[in-house]
Amino acid sequence: MKFFADTAEISEIEELAETGLLDGVTTNPSLIAKSGRDFIEVTKEICGLVDGPVSAEVVALDHDTMMKEAETLRKIADNVCIKVPLTMDGLKTCKKLTGDGTMVNVTLCFSANQALLAAKAGATFVSPFIGRHDDNGFDGMELIRDIRLIYDNYLYDTEILAASIRHATHVLESARIGADVATMPPKVIKSLVSHVLTDKGIEGFLADWGKTGQTIPTS
């Protein structure tokens, strides 16, 4: 499974990139606004920090303007992935962009039927929103499961990008089902390393090492 960071905070991206765990980044207008920085400037900086796809979202709702915005965004860097909403105009834009060799992330997916349309439109990624699906009384993991089944039935190349991930269990279940990518806040990625037995093990090793009175030379 690929890990994408869902953030526009440069310091968080830099920290994760150094671990070798980061395969890409997803941004959206809300995250850009939270960063307080210029959209084009911050997107360009992020693209320079990671080799993988960096999703940059259009804000227009009609196809013609989406295409004009996408033209500006894809000039930022070769690894920009244009993010479009799952609407008819968004799907039309997806088809046009992927036909030109541009990566496209179709976002705000809340049903398997929508994901089927995204795949037929040639989407590079489709982003089903697990947490928001759960918030509205549905089963987010069942959505991922249905999309995986449909894509496997027809051998679609579109990658399932599990989004709106809230906690480690979402990541685990997405991986079990076979989502291709999980995009999540940096704090969720960091939480995956935590386990009480790991902490206890380290404490025990250090206590035993201290009893030896030895040190490991560092120079």
Residues with catalytic annotation? 83
Q: How far is CA 214 from CA 178, 199, 206, 219, in A?
A: 47, 22, 11, 15
First to last CA, the chain: 38
Q: Cα separation of 106 and 139, whole Å?
A: 20
8 A C-beta contact, residue 198 and residue 142? no
State how far the Cα of 31 lies from the Cα of 185, in Å rounded to an integer: 11
**Cα–Cα distance for residue pair 170/166, rounded to 1 Å:** 7
